[in-house]
């Protein structure tokens, strides 16, 4: 699942779409009731004293969940926890408030007419394509849990932030040289034949053999010194250790958790040794057949595969997320067997042979230049804005209600 997310996120279009969704829900939907929210304990957090209400956070978080579920039908709360969606939602709200506050300091203004136009144009407040006052009042009072006056003040702040954002990035351009470099990077290609060693490719019977070799004494000794580490591993993988219906307690499965933690270095030791063995075999006999490899590595489901990646890729089928491996392929892309086993960011060990290198066809650049420059400009604007927000965060007084956030993803963020 998360390999798919990373793969899709590597697309510039998806990245820009994601950024647009974040901005949209932050701008379009204001805070909850500020009554009683004069401290971080009664809110999701505060930004230089400005409250992010619990209702505001819930709405932002819900929009993020909906967004991911439209892309990945099986996206659920546990995946949201792994992908830290609560942090994403909260950071979007924090950034928006920081920029609004800065816009005020710089003297930006928003008129009553601009606020009215923004509200009237919001599709959440419309019926049959037209603004509906009753829908507006009900949404603000019951869904956003705030007053009309408080909501309209928040809209004013959000429009201030939008004006400053526009001022920061409106005149950003991309040169032909930048566009050519991007085109070359996105269209230069390497084909390779790879063998992947990871615990997911080790046959179950061999994995069970290694697991069975771990003694009760080893488990007891490990838990004596590392029970907190085991508990953290359990909390990160509750579904893996679930014992059917009802809540599964750590005490009931801690031996299983400890065995898995003790197994991990044994698996890596075998992966490292066997991948080195295959590389040595291919160096000694480059014409080694697939059948010979299968026979020599009976513990593994070790099927070699062709991959094709561009210089801009961060993901390869069967390998997963590994910008460093892509960089290695392009560092010297002439056809050859790589002289060492490569360990990826996700602890996969790769034996690879480059089979073909194809340079970008620059004759096709002109036909795609306009779209490419527009996409690059959007990406550059997003990065400038992100850097600006981070600069504001560095000197801001930000308080976060971690206890409240635990309710959303089942663990501390």
pLDDT tens across the length of the chain (413 residues): 434 444 444 444 444 344 443 443 343 333 334 433 445 667 999 999 999 989 889 989 988 999 988 888 788 887 888 888 999 999 999 999 999 999 999 999 999 999 999 999 999 899 999 999 999 999 899 888 889 999 999 899 999 999 999 999 999 999 999 999 999 999 999 999 999 999 999 999 999 999 999 999 999 999 999 999 999 988 888 888 887 667 788 888 999 999 999 999 999 999 999 999 999 999 999 999 999 999 999 999 998 999 999 999 999 988 999 999 999 999 999 999 999 999 999 899 999 999 999 999 999 999 999 999 999 999 999 999 999 999 999 999 999 998 898 888 654 43
Q: What's the pLDDT score for residue 78?
A: 78
- Domains along the sequence of the chain with CATH: 2-173+375-409 (1.10.4030.10), 189-358 (no CATH)
d(CA 91, CA 304): 42
Q: What's the pLDDT score for residue 291?
A: 94
Compute the chain's Rg from CA coordinates: 27
Q: DSSP class of residue 382?
A: H
Crossing angle (nearest 10°) for helices 85-105 and 54-71: 120
Structure tokens at 321: 């997320």
CA nearest neighbour of 161 among 105, 242, 219: 105
Structure tokens at 14: 């998806």
d(CA 147, CA 153): 10
* Residue tagged 């490292």 (tokens): 272
Q: Give Cβ neighbours of residue 272 (< 8 Å, ≥ 6 apart).
A: 341, 349
Q: Number of H helices and number of E strands within the chain?
A: 16, 12
Q: What's the pLDDT score for residue 310?
A: 96
Crossing angle (nearest 10°) for helices 12-28 and 148-169: 140
Q: What's the pLDDT score for residue 31?
A: 36
Q: Are strands 336-337 and 342-343 parallel, antiparallel or unpaired?
A: unpaired
Q: What's the pLDDT score for residue 317?
A: 87
Q: What's the pLDDT score for residue 40?
A: 66
Q: Phi and psi (nearest 5°) for 350?
A: -115, 130
């Amino acid at each position: 699942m998360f390999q798919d997310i990373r793969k899709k996120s590597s697309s510039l279009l998806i990245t820009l779409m994601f950024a647009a969704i974040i901005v949209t829900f932050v701008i379009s939907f204001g805070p909850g009731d500020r009554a009683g929210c004069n401290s971080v304990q009664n809110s999701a957090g505060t930004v230089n004293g400005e409250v992010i209400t619990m209702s505001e956070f819930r709405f932002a978080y819900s929009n993020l969940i909906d967004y991911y579920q439209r892309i990945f039908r099986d996206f659920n709360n546990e995946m949201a926890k792994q992908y830290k969606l609560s942090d994403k939602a909260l950071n979007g709200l924090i950034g928006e408030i920081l920029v609004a506050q800065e816009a005020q300091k710089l003297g930006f203004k928003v008129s009553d007419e601009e606020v009215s136009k923004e509200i009237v144009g919001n599709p959440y407040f419309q019926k049959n394509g037209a603004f509906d006052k009753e829908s507006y009042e009900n949404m603000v009072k019951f869904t956003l849990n705030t007053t009309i006056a408080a909501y309209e003040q928040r809209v004013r702040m959000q429009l201030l932030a939008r004006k400053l954002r526009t001022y920061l990035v409106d005149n950003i351009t991309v040169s032909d040289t930048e566009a050519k470099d991007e085109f070359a990077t996105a269209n230069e290609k390497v084909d390779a034949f790879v063998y992947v060693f990871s615990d997911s490719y080790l046959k179950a019977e061999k994995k069970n053999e290694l697991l069975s070799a771990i003694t009760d004494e080893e488990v007891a000794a490990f838990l004596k010194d590392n029970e907190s580490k085991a508990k953290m591993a359990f909390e990160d993988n509750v579904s893996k250790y679930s014992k059917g219906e009802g809540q599964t307690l750590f005490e009931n499965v801690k031996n299983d958790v400890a065995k898995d933690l003790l197994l991990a270095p044994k698996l890596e030791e075998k992966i490292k040794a066997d991948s080195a063995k295959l590389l040595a075999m291919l160096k000694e006999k480059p014409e080694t057949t697939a059948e010979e490899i299968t026979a020599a590595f009976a513990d593994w489901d070790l099927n070699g595969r062709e991959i094709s990646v561009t210089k801009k890729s961060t993901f390869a089928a069967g390998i997963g997320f590994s910008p460093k491996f892509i960089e290695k392929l392009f560092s010297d892309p002439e056809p050859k067997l790589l002289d060492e086993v490569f360990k990826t960011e996700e602890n996969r060990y790769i034996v690879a042979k480059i089979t073909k290198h194809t340079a970008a066809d620059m004759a096709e650049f002109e036909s795609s230049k306009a779209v490419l420059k527009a996409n690059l400009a959007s990406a550059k604007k997003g990065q400038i804005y992100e850097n600006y927000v981070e600069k504001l965060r560095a000197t801001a007084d930000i308080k976060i209600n971690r206890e409240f956030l635990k309710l959303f993803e089942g663990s501390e963020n």
